[in-house]
Amino acid sequence: MPRRDYVKTARPKPNSRKKAPAKAPVPWLLMLATAVLVLLFAWFLWTLNKQTPVQQPAPAPVVVQDDLPERPTEEPYQYIEELENRQIVVEIPELEARGPFQMQCASFRSEEQADAMRAQIAFAGFSSSIRRTEGSNGVWYRVVLGPYESRRQAEADRNRLRRNGINTCQIWNWT
């Protein structure tokens, strides 16, 4: 069976002539309609310009009446003088100290992991301690900071630790 060359059969033959594309007719009707519309728009604008503006009557002058009573010559109230000479005493109650606060940043089963967390905290600029806790579920090593006098101090340190990438710290009352 002879082989067929499908690639060459799809190509046009070299001696075939291409026909030139037909030129589109000039749209005379469209050009004429556009010119008429432009002329009509210009005539409309010219007629608007030639019209005289309508005169509107001038507004009547507005008379402002003062409905306020006359100002008294002397002050009928005494509280203004009393407030100037009076001293006010405000009592500020003392806030109760809620006890020392402690911040726990991690809890691990192995002491090596707790030491690694303690080193991270030390690089952030804080001193921490590791506390060994034995409970019903085994031995835990806690990484703890504190004690703090107020919760505000503990929150400030926790925010500094968060900026250094340590986001696991929790604050609790240590009593």
Is 90 exceeded by the pLDDT of residue 35? Answer: yes
29 falls within a domain: no
Q: Tell me which residue of 106, 108, 101 sits closest to 169, measured CA to CA.
A: 106
Cis peptide before 147 (omega within 30 of 0): yes
Residue with tokens 């005379």: 28
154 falls within a domain: yes
Residue 13 vs residue 86, higher pLDDT: 86
Residue range 142-159: mean pLDDT, rounded: 93
Taking the model in full, what pTM does it have? 0.46
Distance between CA atoms of residues 114 and 131, nearest Å: 9
47 falls within a domain: no
Residue with tokens 């001193």: 127
Q: Tell me which residue of 51, 39, 153 sits closest to 102, measured CA to CA.
A: 153
List the Cα angle 73/83/87 in 5-degree steps.
155
Our CA dihedral for 161, 162, 166, 169, rounded to 10 degrees, sits at 80
Quote the pLDDT of residue 10: 61
138 falls within a domain: yes
Neighbouring C-beta atoms of residue 121, cutoff 10 Å: 22
Helix (H) or strand (E) holding 37: helix 28-50
Q: Tell me which residue of 44, 148, 58, 149 sits closest to 104, measured CA to CA.
A: 148
Quote the pLDDT of residue 11: 62
169 falls within a domain: yes
CATH number at residue 146: 3.30.70.1070
Q: Name the pLDDT band for 21 (thresholds 50, 70, 90).
A: low
Domain membership of residue 122 as a residue range: 101-173
Residue 98 vs residue 172, higher pLDDT: 172
132 falls within a domain: yes
Task: Please list the residues that pair with 134 across neighbouring strands.
Answer: 139
Quote the pLDDT of residue 51: 75
65 falls within a domain: no
- The total number of structural domains in the chain stands at 1
Token reading at 103 = 């911040």
What digits encode the pLDDT tens for the residues 60-71?
A: 787 777 777 777
32 falls within a domain: no
Distance between CA atoms of residues 105 and 114, nearest Å: 10
